[in-house]
Amino acid sequence: MSCVDQFVDLIVDSDNDYQELDKTYLYNRICALVGDDNHQTDDNIKTALIKTAIKNGKIEDNQTEKEILNDQLMNFVTPLPSKVNAKFWNLYQKSPETATNYFYKLSQDNDYIKVKAIAKNISYQVKTDYGNLEITINLSKPEKDPKTIALAGKQKQTGYPKCQLCMENEGYLGRLGYPARSNHRIIRFTLGGQTWGFQYSPYAYFSEHAIFLNKIHQPMIINQHTFNNLLEIIKMFPQYFVGSNADLPIVGGSMLSHDHYQGGRHQFPMMKAKIDRDISLPVKNVKAGIVKWPLSTIRLTSDNPEQLVAAATLIHENWKNYSDETVDVRAFTDKTRHHTVTPIAYKVDDNYVLDIVLRDNQTSKEFPDGIFHPHQDVQHIKKENIGLIEVMGRAILPARLKDELKEVERYLLKQPNQMAEYHKAWADKLQEKYDFNEDNVSEIVDKETGLVFGRVLEDAGVFKWDQQGQEAFDKFIGSLS
């Protein structure tokens, strides 16, 4: 049986509208993509089909064209958006979890979630004073090959879709420099009187990594409406957490141009962190406290979502205009606003929780990348923005570290190496601290990498965990009454 025949059988057996009578039609539609002849063999049907397409000159042997064809093929085994939505909301009547289980499995089975690629990521935990931080070296997103980059540079630019979070990506073919989305599906729902979408992240950083996105392509903003939206999503999907990146550069995420939130089924280190001390806010039926966490975090807990929104709004509105020169906290320089928050919502038993993380995006001559951003001495490990996922204690470290840290290990063992110069100061300190051998070097480097990430989070903290910092934090809390 040819790879095309095998794939036709797979399509007919999948959860869509194709039946036995459609086999000839499907065979011809697939041959239109891969060619009529030279049907290749491979243990993986999709790989065989892609090899066939290359052999027949239907596509070039490059990353982009193979991804586009892969997703076109997987679109055959993916129900139409209307059918996915209808089934999701029918299952939701049983339970929210039944609905998300269906959608998550579909998104994995149709290769929208890149399960095999995600498995390449390096992940482990490191014990710190703030609990066990989670370290991930991100190896899942494929490197762009030079030929693809060169071709993309010659391609005429288009403004459609406006960004990778727009709903117009659903079913989009893809192009050089822009991902294929033929097999992409989005669940529609109403949030705050607007149409929103729910999808999973193709390169997930944790279990059921979800994205909630506004149908309207508009910039992210944090306000009272945001807090209400987050809690409405938690009411809808109580098994998930949901949070928003901050809405300012440096302290925000990488997609500030499109209003969206991230969520999923994962308990992050910050969510496990304990309350250091209770605080009093002038909002009824809300328990509040300062979390023992490197970033300055206020935890709000209540069985009343409306009161939580009121408390979060009080903190946010005051923080936007709050300054304390003694700890380099400035709400504005000239007319530029520097203060915002990173909010995270989730349920604990019958209570709703809102963690409000204070953010400040100032720069200075000493810290041109950001006063409350990873400082220069830790940027050899992490120099990118500290967004929502890192705020909660999961490092997303660059792929370069996989090879670079192996060279650091060789350096520490006094073996021939090609260690990057920017790791040398750190490696020399480790050399003074430990006696390295073949048996312990990897474990120690992993641990110390995690401790550097802990320092990264401390750099991002507005009120430091020393006497001056915590007195300043208490002073801000006092301004809320």
Task: Decide if pLDDT at 153 tops 70.
Answer: no
Q: What total of structural domains would you count in the chain?
A: 3
Give the residue among 111, 105, 114 at the shortest CA–CA distance from 87. 105
* Domain stop point among 33, 59, 85: 59
Contact predicate 397/138, CB 8 Å = yes
Same domain, 438 and 335: no
pLDDT of the residue at 481:
83
pLDDT of the residue at 151:
56
Task: Decide if pLDDT at 150 tops 60.
Answer: no
pLDDT of the residue at 41:
87
Quick: pLDDT tens for 83-125.
999 999 999 999 999 999 999 999 999 999 999 999 999 999 9
Same domain, 406 and 303: no
Task: Decide if pLDDT at 305 tops 90.
Answer: yes
Same domain, 357 and 232: yes
pLDDT of the residue at 143:
61
Quick: pLDDT tens for 351-385.
999 999 999 999 999 999 999 999 999 999 999 99
- The pTM score is 0.94
Same domain, 359 and 404: no
Distance CA 202, CA 206 (A): 11
Distance CA 80, CA 110 (A): 12
Same domain, 450 and 356: no
| Residue 401 DSSP symbol | H
* CA 38 vs CA 32, 49, 58, 437: distances in Å: 13, 10, 12, 54
Does the residue 383 lie in any domain? no
Distance CA 10, CA 280 (A): 60
pLDDT of the residue at 252:
80
Longest alpha-carbon distance in the chain? 76
Does the residue 154 lie in any domain? no
Q: Which pairing describes strands 394-397 and 131-137: parallel, antiparallel, or unpaired? A: parallel
What is the domain extent for residue 26? 1-59
Q: How confident is the model at residue 253 (pLDDT cuts 50, 70, 90)?
A: confident
Same domain, 256 and 359: yes
- Name the average pLDDT for the chain: 95
Does the residue 387 lie in any domain? no
